[in-house]
Amino acid sequence: MPVAVAVLAFVAGAGVSLGTSYVLVTRLERIGGRLGLSEALLGMVAALAADAPEVTSAVTALATHQQNVGAGVVIGSNVFNLAALLGLGAVVAGSIALHRRVVLLGGVVGIWIAVACLVTVVGWLPPAAGLAAVLAVLLPYLFVLAAGHARLQRMAVTRRWEAWLADAVAEEEQELEEVIHPRHGRGRDVAVAAAALVVVVAASVTMERAASLLGTRFGVPEIITGGVVLAAVTSLPNAVAAVYLAAKGRGAAMLSTTLNSNALNVTAGLLIPATITGLGPPSPHATLIAVWYLVMTVGSLGFAYRDSGVRRATGALIIGAYLVFLGSLLATGRSASPDPGLTVIPLVVVAVAGAVGLARRPGRKRRREGAPD
């Protein structure tokens, strides 16, 4: 394929995939509304539809035995999501208030999945075991979201943790119901959603194949093609949605979009296809991205819990951490055995800076800006 044709295919595939994913999201929300899904579960469905480009690109890469591209798309997208959704969202909004219960509920699941992703990529667990570990937490979480506040409240008779879950889901749904308000779906919406899904898959496959071809032609390492180029391009819809939610003050909805997107990326885009095709031998570059994903997840959620939200300074710190990650990946991408000084030292610096920031107590004024527990 000539270079000009490959560039055109990449641009066209990206444009069609991202544009059609919006249609898919809206139609699935209508179908979910018709089925009576809770607002929190509708948010999960919307995240899955918005993740279609990166999931499809990752599956395509893994199916063609380009493990670095596949792992890079999924895990790189998750790191990008933290910077573009939480970081940029906080910078745009100035300050995002969050209930601590919402942070803790989604954060436990998000950190667990990041850990499972890392130990699978490193090779300590086979993909099937990593998938089982993720589903052991993700499925109960989906059950809680599906149950909704009213049903959980009825269940919460004698156990305090059931009442806590009901309150956490209620706080999340209070914001989501103002963001997700679809019309009831019809048979036409099912047909449109099915057609949109086919288009998104076809366009994403075209985009991934064109990007891989261009990367090979110009000597770009697979991990850069997947972890930087495809990861950023396929995550743009989520980034735009999160910035919009942050500007409207919908903090819980923005956090839910970030964590749900990352969870579904790892599950559907990496572990399920890897269970079928395998991940190949552990890659130092994929391991590097997975470690950054875990560290940035823990750090972002730590600040969010401490401050009952995400302040502009925290958002800038998250974006800065992503830029350091990007520089580290670009500096080591061409080497089969990266220099530890270019990988470990930047990570340690960011981790120490985050730990120091978390150890500092926010002032009274800042504490008043957070949402109540």
pTM summary value: 0.82
**How high is the mean pLDDT of the chain?**
78
Residues 6+ apart with CB under 8 A from 368: none
Report for 53-57, 136-140, 147-151, 360-364: range of highest mean pLDDT: 136-140
Give the pLDDT mean for 314-342. Answer: 79
pLDDT in tens, 195-248: 888 888 888 888 888 888 888 888 888 878 888 888 888 887 777 766 666 666
pLDDT of the residue at 177: 55
pLDDT of the residue at 102: 81
* Residue ranges making up the domain that contains 263: 69-180+220-369
DSSP state of 97: E
pLDDT in tens, 337-357: 666 666 667 777 777 777 777
Distance CA 48, CA 32 (A): 13
Least confident of 38-42, 123-127, 185-189, 282-286: 38-42
Under the banding of pLDDT at 50, 70 and 90, the label for residue 366 is: very low
Q: Is residue 336 part of a domain?
A: yes
Q: Is residue 326 part of a domain?
A: yes
> Does the CA dihedral 136-138-139-144 come out positive or negative?
positive
- C-beta of residue 38 within 8 angstroms of C-beta of residue 146: yes
Q: Is residue 340 part of a domain?
A: yes
pLDDT in tens, 301-315: 999 998 888 888 888
Give the 3-state secondary structure of residue 223.
helix
pLDDT of the residue at 63: 84
Q: Integer distance in angstroms from the first to the last C-alpha of the chain?
A: 57
pLDDT surpassing 50 at residue 18: yes
Strands (E), the chain: 95-97, 309-311
Distance CA 86, CA 246 (A): 9
Distance CA 373, CA 359 (A): 20
Q: Is residue 361 part of a domain?
A: yes
pLDDT of the residue at 365: 44
| Radius of gyration for the alpha carbons in the chain, expressed in angstroms and rounded | 20
Burial of 362 (0-12, 13-18, 19+ CB in 10 A): middle
Q: Is residue 30 part of a domain?
A: no
Q: Please report where in the chains the tokens 């990449």 appear, as a residue.
A: 10
Here the CATH number for the domain that contains residue 78 is 1.20.1420.30
pLDDT surpassing 60 at residue 321: yes
Residues 6+ apart with CB under 8 A from 157: none
pLDDT of the residue at 110: 93
Q: In total, how many domains does the chain have? A: 1
Distance CA 373, CA 367 (A): 12
Q: Is residue 3 part of a domain?
A: no
Q: Is residue 31 part of a domain?
A: no
Q: Is residue 12 part of a domain?
A: no
